[in-house]
Amino acid sequence: MGKGDKKTKRGKINSGTFGARRPRIKKRIKPEAKININKKAKA
């Protein structure tokens, strides 16, 4: 269980791959980005 092991987190980091042991971190959309303050409601 080390750098050469594909099933461990350290092995995933060394080989540069992702999987169940090392999932990708998803970028979250900020709530401020969703709401546009400059738009006004049409009457």
Name the residue range of residue 9's domain: 1-25
| Cβ 17 vs Cβ 23: under 8 Å | no
Model confidence at 41, in pLDDT bands (50, 70, 90)?
low
Q: Give residue for tokens 């080989």.
A: 15
Is residue 4 over pLDDT 80? Answer: yes
**35 lies in some domain:** no
Is 10 inside a domain boundary?
A: yes
Q: Examine residue 14 and state whether it is found in any structural domain, yes or no.
A: yes
Number of domains making up the chain = 1
Query: What confidence category does residue 42 fall into, taking pLDDT thresholds of 50, 70 and 90?
Result: low
Q: What is the mean pLDDT of residues 37-41?
A: 67
Residue 38 lies in a domain: no
d(CA 6, CA 3) in angstroms, rounded, equals 8
* Residue 19 maps to a domain: yes
Question: What is the pTM assigned to this prediction?
Answer: 0.52
